[in-house]
A and B are shown apart, each in its own frame.
Chain A
């Protein structure tokens, strides 16, 4: 995923504008043809096309699932157990895309989302679904807090890329172990009734997992829609696409940046709560998922935000399919890490060229 292309690139001296500002017309006589070619030559990509292909693929998989037990299990368990991965990756990708920061401390936003939910649930006596959103909001506020207290200051002090990552790594570990002081060392569980099992495509799934899947899907759609459809979402995308041009169009960077950190934190916190209700909440909840989130974002982000969602879904299903096959989850992680690293080697973002030689 490209970092926002800076307008009038502030860090590059005045250079010959040859490359992009090419005057391409041939002799003047061909001018008329060019106009025709320009207005009708290229047929713009239809946004609906990709979606319909994916829908067709999904339908195909469901049909396949009804025929094969293995496919059915992979699909259903993969989707329900790893649903939160998509949410987490979406939030992380948003942050990465706008700020260019690979925020390792995002792991703790996820963890804290889980803890906030447990804490609210046990102290207020509310049910899980009543505390999910407040927990997400708290995680969002925490995310904004870390931006204001640390990353904003760091950016102003012109801390380098490598140092930024080291800082987020340090913050991650500080929060992770700080959590152990605050919340204790015990693994915590949500107090929920023993679930009923519902059969989907012939695979038994606990009811709350289905609800969690539905909620995660709904929240992912909501967050995606917020980014794609609303006024603030538009400003977020504009700022991510071209920071300078967005500012010159009147977009106030601080407001929008705070919003990004909040939405990213919200998504992470919600993911944490759903991870937590699926198994348990522990200080390592987020950091166990971090590598997978990082890989999904880096690989999916080669395309765009929707790419992150699809790579996330595919990863979840592949993880389950391989676990079913090998009988051990660790092997599937191993295969996935190798696969992702291979993709990164081939298509990953290149070293930024400090010098155009």
Chain B
């Protein structure tokens, strides 16, 4: 945990956002420190909207987003990426027409770190990618393309990694592998991780704290250890 005086790594205040004039997020407040922070919620709760807004791809209609104390509410996505936000959307997370190497290179274009070093680190985390660099990313399997998407974000050397449903649609073995990798990325590199997940059990296995979203409003943030089935059922309206 950071020192008491240091600002949280990511801080969200009264966040409102949506598509056009359709409001989706209706006032969210939370702060994330160096941890794995999971956002839970059923279909349509606004999880994807929240991450896209944090990545600055959707306009903020009200409220603010601060990254390490710096207000990034008005920054475009290309600038927040340079300030250390890595974003892996759930859909369209790779450039399908580009090769795996090119996908990773796109992420490696910002920052001072040499490309080779970044690639080496990505291959350390995802060894499967090493012999697939020449392939067209669109031809990869679901699990592999998810690895490419993650790898591309890691190439940016981010301080915060936003993962939107990182394991949706993957087979159970991949799911396990992915959560293991997520834990590794957090503990090994000190990257703060914010992920959304529909499946509460999976998320609780890796997260330090969780928040349940329902119809654009957030529940109180719960420490993973305190979460009970009843509290979850209530937040999910089940």
Contact = CB atoms under 8 A, between A and B. Distances in A.
A and B in contact, CB less than 8 Å: yes
B169 A10 contact: no
A249 B81 contact: yes
A17 B91 contact: yes
Given A7-B89, A34-B173, A249-B106, 8 more contacts: A13-B24, A14-B18, A21-B165, A25-B170, A35-B174, A45-B139, A245-B92, A250-B78
A16 B142 CA distance: 20
A13 B19 contact: yes
A47 B95 contact: no
A22 B90 CA distance: 11
B23 to A, nearest CB: 10
B33 interface: no
Contacts of B44: 14, 16
A231 B153 CA distance: 17
A104 B144 CA distance: 41
B55 interface: yes
* 9 pairs of A and B residues whose beta carbons are closest in the complex: A44-B139, A38-B141, A8-B52, A250-B110, A250-B81, A34-B171, A247-B77, A31-B172, A13-B22
Contact of A245 (B46, B49, B93, B171): B93
B96 interface: yes
Interface stretch (B7-15, B65-73, B97-105, B183-191): B97-105
A350 interface: no
A356 to B, nearest CB: 14
Given A20-B91, A24-B169, A242-B92, A10 B57 contact: yes
Select the residue from B48, B77, B165, B172 with max chain A CB neighbours within 10 A.
Answer: B77
B58 A8 contact: yes
A322 to B, nearest CB: 34
Interface string B198-227: 000000000000000000000000000000
Interface stretch (A54-62, A135-143, A232-240): A232-240
Given A13-B19, A38-B141, A247 B78 contact: yes
17 contacts: A8-B52, A8-B57, A9-B19, A10-B58, A11-B19, A14-B18, A14-B46, A31-B173, A35-B171, A37-B141, A231-B109, A241-B95, A244-B57, A244-B89, A244-B92, A248-B81, A250-B156
A25 B128 contact: no
Nearest to A19: B91
B60 interface: no
Contact of A251 (B18, B90, B109, B143): B109
B20 interface: yes
Given A20-B91, A21-B90, A237-B95, A249 B173 contact: no
A238 B98 contact: yes
Interface string A21-65: 111110010011011011101101101000000000000000000
B203 to A, nearest CB: 15
B41 interface: no
A28 to B, nearest CB: 6
Contacts of B37: none
A188 to B, nearest CB: 42
Nearest to B105: A234
A252 interface: yes
B48 A17 contact: yes
B19 A14 contact: yes
Interface of A: 5, 7-14, 16-17, 20-25, 28, 31-32, 34-35, 37-39, 41-42, 44-45, 47, 231, 234-235, 237-238, 241-242, 244-253, 304
B107 interface: yes
Given A42-B139, A248-B77, A25 B19 contact: no
Contacts of B46: 14
Interface of B: 18-20, 22, 24, 43-44, 46, 48-49, 52, 55-58, 76-78, 81-82, 85, 87, 89-98, 102, 105-107, 109-110, 128, 135-136, 139-144, 152-153, 156, 165, 168-174
Contacts of A25: 170-172
A15 B174 CA distance: 26
A245 B95 contact: yes
Nearest to B110: A250
Nearest to B95: A241
Contacts of A245: 89, 92-95
Nearest to B99: A47
Given A7-B92, A34-B171, A249-B152, A45 B57 contact: no
A237 B95 CA distance: 9
B22 to A, nearest CB: 4
Given A238-B106, A248-B87, A12 B82 contact: no
Nearest to B21: A13
Contact of A39 (B82, B110, B128, B172): B128
A306 to B, nearest CB: 11
A33 to B, nearest CB: 9
A17 B93 CA distance: 14
A47 B56 CA distance: 35
Contacts of B85: 248
B136 A17 contact: no
Contacts of A47: 136
Contact of B95 (A10, A13, A242, A253): A242
A20 B156 CA distance: 26
A44 B169 contact: no
Nearest to B167: A23
Given A11-B19, A21-B169, A44-B135, A235 B106 contact: yes
